[in-house]
Structure 1
Amino acid sequence: MGDADRKFFVLDTNILLHEPFAIYSFQEHDVIIPMTVLEELDRIKDSKRDVSRDARVAIRALEDIFKDATPDQIAEGIIVGKEGSTGTVSIFADYEIKETVQAFADKAGDNRILNAVLHLQAKRSPRTVVLVTKDINMRLRAKGAGVLFVEDYRTDQLIDDVSLLTKGFQVFEGGFWDKVGQVETENSGRTTLHILPRELADTTFVNQYLLDEGDDFAGRVVGLTDTEMTIKDISRERLMHREAWGVRPKNIYQGMAMDALLDPNVDLVILTGPAGCGKTILAMAAALEQVVEKGMYDKIIVTRNTPEIAESIGFLPGTEEEKMLPWLGAVTDTLEALHKNDECADGSMRYIMDKANIQFKSINFMRGRSIQNAFVILDECQNLTASQLKTIITRCGEGTKIVCSGNLAQIDSPYLTPVTSGLTYIVERFKNFEGSACVYLNGVVRSRLAEFAEENL
């Protein structure tokens, strides 16, 4: 590759907060970190925000690269990556540049980064200088200020369009058995297994559900080889009659979710879908059934992402559980809904929370723990990055089941989109893992008002 083909990639601060090791992702090109980015990382690392850890990781990664370098080498660029790599990382002293762009008076840091990119664009021509940022508004301002090449960071993006994300099931036109020629069937107790040619189903993976339009067949892929797939015959009727804590599925999608939630061989269940499709109530009902009735787990741990929690949790009175309650209203609402017909609903709630040992935890305090024999419910996953989800999932020890649920249409994080959300990431990464199942809950069952709003607003 000639020098003219090598690009300069200028990284915005949010790239290193989203992926602290992004500096290693550009291979044979040159990465430039403006001094302003280091200043912003320094401010964030000492803050109480949930991204402060990522800022510290990014700073340590840069320190590892530059620890033995001279000032001249830092300005020129240090080669990073594996042996034989030609990509470099350098720090650019952007404070020395005379500002030509002053787009926003309250965004001095952004202005300095934009000026640095414009300066490099003029000085380094004809080589391409690309500003990489996850901030949509920054991308628009950069283009308006005259930056020729602006990109989002897509190295960790596994799919190009969220509509391509697997739903965890396939629906066959007509009847399923009409498409099947020869089949080998085995019976083991109440379980019926069919061994079929793999090409019958497109892009099959383990624990994927198979349905047909005939409203009769339902199965789950339980084994795969290069040429064959083994399907557990469940039938729609049996799926629709699964029950947990008095809750029965209202549609076939909830039936598939309930089947995965109650299966002790599935360690990770990922539930996606619109608001009101039943993600939280199914997870909580399955948790109570398996902890209280069957004694399969010792406790229920409920946690979720709370963007502003680090700054505001300390000002709320009470224990960690009590501080978390405002953010876990969806879970307490669900518990109330499950016991609304009891004679004394408040007494039932208190009894169940004690009996099931329900613990409300902040994600910030999950690091370093090892969670054993627990049913973990991780709500609102769409607002987590892949690295945050990895931190939580790797906490799960022996005998622990984790349910990750979220709605990709309700992302609150300024750094995430549906295709870069950690929820999308784990759906794609875990789809070939035999200990996980994913179900997209199609259809709103909360109320006719919620259903109309989801479809028409």
Structure 2
Amino acid sequence: MDDADRKVFVLDTNILLHEPLAIYSFKEHDVVIPMTVLEELDRIKDSKRDVARDARVAIRALEDIFHDATPEQISAGIPLTEQGDHKGRIAIFADYEIHETVHAFADKAGDNRILNGVLYLQNHYAPRKVVLITKDINMRLRAKGAGVFYVDDYRSDQLIDDVSLLTKGFHRYPASFWERVGECHSEKRGRSTLHTLPQELFESPFVNQYLIDEDTDFAARIQSLDGEMVTLKDLGHERLMHRQAWGIHPKNIYQGMAMDALLDPEIDLVILTGPAGCGKTILAMAAALELVIEKGMYDKIIVTRNTPDIAESIGFLPGTEEEKMMPWLAAVTDTMEALHKHDVCTDGSMKYIFEKANIQFKSINFMRGRSIQNAFVLLDECQNLTASQIKTIITRCGEGTKLVCSGNLAQIDSTYLSPVTSGLTYIVERFKNFEGSANIYLNGVVRSRLAEFAEENL
């Protein structure tokens, strides 16, 4: 690669908030950090926003690179990688010195300085490509309108190009599964029946993938992959539909698969995706109560989610951490009411269950540094989390802990996330070959006919 082939990537602030170590993702190409980005990181690092920690991580990463450099070296660029014949370099660009060519509203002065800097670099480095990398869609539109030739999103943590390609965790065969099978080795192991079949009968199989068909009551889960052979655990359609937890029975085969994964002690991570009203939260809470109170497999239930400002701020809420989290976790309390609506005294039953199951409501902001042992953890609404935020939660889980991640990729509130860049999409793809995890897309709305019609037609 000669100098003309090496690109110059200019990073917007939101890239370093989305992935603080993004500067290392461009390998042999050059990276430029505008001074405006450093100023915005400086403002954010001391704020009370969720991204303050990410801003500090990005600042420390830049300090590690530039700590011994002179001002001239910082402007010219410091070697970033030692791979290949050419070294990628990183530089800080004083964009405030550029004569203004892009004019807009005063509240967008930072964006304007970045755009002016990109236009200057585009002329300075020609014919090399200068690419503005930003997760702000409107910033990308403004950049193209201002004359920036190359604008792109940050895709290093994007595992798929279309959310429709995301694995659903199961495969449905249009006809009878057994009609496709020639020879099959079957054996009994305890109460389970296992079938060993050649891998050529399956389309992209992975561990804990569910298999169902249209014509029979066949239902199975892939137990293991061994070279060219696949071992199935025979579950049966009827047995899945008769699974129950805390009085809740599956209303469709998708809920049956989810219930099977939730109640299986060998599965440490269950990922539930699907539209609003498909039963993600109620299945998870029913399984949690069943495993904690009835079976005594876990000591407590921890419910957590992030708290995005999707509406007008309501100020500082009074009370303990649990009480502050209650408005954000109303979906869980609504679910608890639904599970106990037929009790003589619903409020009394809920209070008893909250104490008996040791249910704790925690903010995701205070999960860092913890080690959670022997707990059933429900991470709700995680479509609004980045991959690094979900990693923070997953790495908190210690021995004897089961984690359930649920979310709807059609309801993303985060400013800089899309269905393909959401942390929920990321973990679905990353964990699909992990033997300790299962992913199920709950197809179909069961909340009410009103909710079903709205999901299909609005």
TM-score range, shorter chain: over 0.9
Secondary structure of the equivalent of 1:4?
coil
Structure-2 separation of matches of 1:242 and 1:314: 44
Shift of residue 307, structure 1, vs aligned partner = 2.0
Shift of residue 308, structure 1, vs aligned partner = 4.0
* Structure-2 residue corresponding to 1:176: 177
* Structure-2 residue corresponding to 1:14: 14
1:304 partnered with 2:305: yes
Secondary structure of the equivalent of 1:160?
coil
Shift of residue 225, structure 1, vs aligned partner = 1.2
Shift of residue 94, structure 1, vs aligned partner = 0.4
Secondary structure of the equivalent of 2:65?
helix
Secondary structure of the equivalent of 1:455?
helix
Shift of residue 314, structure 1, vs aligned partner = 7.5
Structure-2 separation of matches of 1:172 and 1:240: 18
How far does the alpha carbon of each residue in 1:193-248 deviate from its partner, in whole angstroms, 9 at most, with x for none? 00000111111000000001114100000110120000000000000000000000
Structure-2 separation of matches of 1:240 and 1:93: 64
How far does the alpha carbon of each residue in 1:383-441 deviate from its partner, in whole angstroms, 9 at most, with x for none? 00000000000000000000000000000001111001000000000000000000000
Structure-2 separation of matches of 1:81 and 1:436: 35
Structure-1 separation of matches of 2:191 and 2:129: 64
Contact conserved, 1:5 with 1:127, CA < 8 A, in 2? yes
Structure-1 separation of matches of 2:300 and 2:372: 10
One-letter identity of the residue aligned with 1:437: A
* Structure-2 residue corresponding to 1:234: 235
Structure-2 separation of matches of 1:256 and 1:350: 30
1:55 partnered with 2:55: yes
* Structure-2 residue corresponding to 1:331: 332
Normalised by the length of structure 2, the TM-score is: 0.98
* Structure-1 residue corresponding to 2:41: 41
* Structure-1 residue corresponding to 2:150: 149
Secondary structure of the equivalent of 1:315?
coil
Structure 2 counterparts to residues 242-281 of structure 1, below 5 A: 242-281=243-282
Secondary structure of the equivalent of 2:156?
coil
The farther-off stretch of 96-105 and 266-275 is: 96-105
Secondary structure of the equivalent of 1:437?
strand
Structure-1 separation of matches of 2:209 and 2:2: 47
Contact conserved, 2:82 with 2:88, CA < 8 A, in 1? no
Structure-2 separation of matches of 1:449 and 1:316: 33
Give the fraction of aligned pairs with identical amino acids, expressed as a percent.
79
* Structure-2 residue corresponding to 1:293: 294
RMSD: 1.2
Contact conserved, 2:299 with 2:357, CA < 8 A, in 1? yes
Shift of residue 75, structure 1, vs aligned partner = 0.5
Structure-2 separation of matches of 1:274 and 1:443: 7
The farther-off stretch of 123-132 and 328-337 is: 123-132
One-letter identity of the residue aligned with 2:223: V
1:439 partnered with 2:440: yes
Shift of residue 103, structure 1, vs aligned partner = 2.5
Secondary structure of the equivalent of 1:221?
strand
Shift of residue 81, structure 1, vs aligned partner = 2.6
Structure-1 separation of matches of 2:188 and 2:138: 59
Query: CA 1:415–1:197 in 2, change beyond 3 Å: closer, same or farther?
Result: same
1:420 partnered with 2:448: no
Structure-2 separation of matches of 1:147 and 1:122: 10
4+ residue runs of structure 1 moved beyond 6 angstroms?
Answer: 311-314
One-letter identity of the residue aligned with 1:377: L
Contact conserved, 1:50 with 1:307, CA < 8 A, in 2? no
* Structure-2 residue corresponding to 1:112: 113
How far does the alpha carbon of each residue in 1:101-151 deviate from its partner, in whole angstroms, 9 at most, with x for none? 012321110000000001111121111111000000000001111111100
* Structure-1 residue corresponding to 2:374: 373
* Structure-2 residue corresponding to 1:78: 78
Contact conserved, 1:313 with 1:323, CA < 8 A, in 2? no
Contact conserved, 2:28 with 2:83, CA < 8 A, in 1? no
Normalised by the length of structure 1, the TM-score is: 0.98
Shift of residue 313, structure 1, vs aligned partner = 8.8
Shift of residue 74, structure 1, vs aligned partner = 0.4
Secondary structure of the equivalent of 1:224?
strand
* Structure-2 residue corresponding to 1:135: 136
Contact conserved, 1:321 with 1:361, CA < 8 A, in 2? yes
Secondary structure of the equivalent of 1:62?
helix
* Structure-1 residue corresponding to 2:383: 382
Structure-2 separation of matches of 1:183 and 1:109: 65
Secondary structure of the equivalent of 1:89?
strand
The farther-off stretch of 340-349 and 210-219 is: 210-219
Shift of residue 290, structure 1, vs aligned partner = 0.4
Query: CA 1:346–1:252 in 2, change beyond 3 Å: closer, same or farther?
Result: same
Runs of 5+ unmatched residues, structure 2 = none
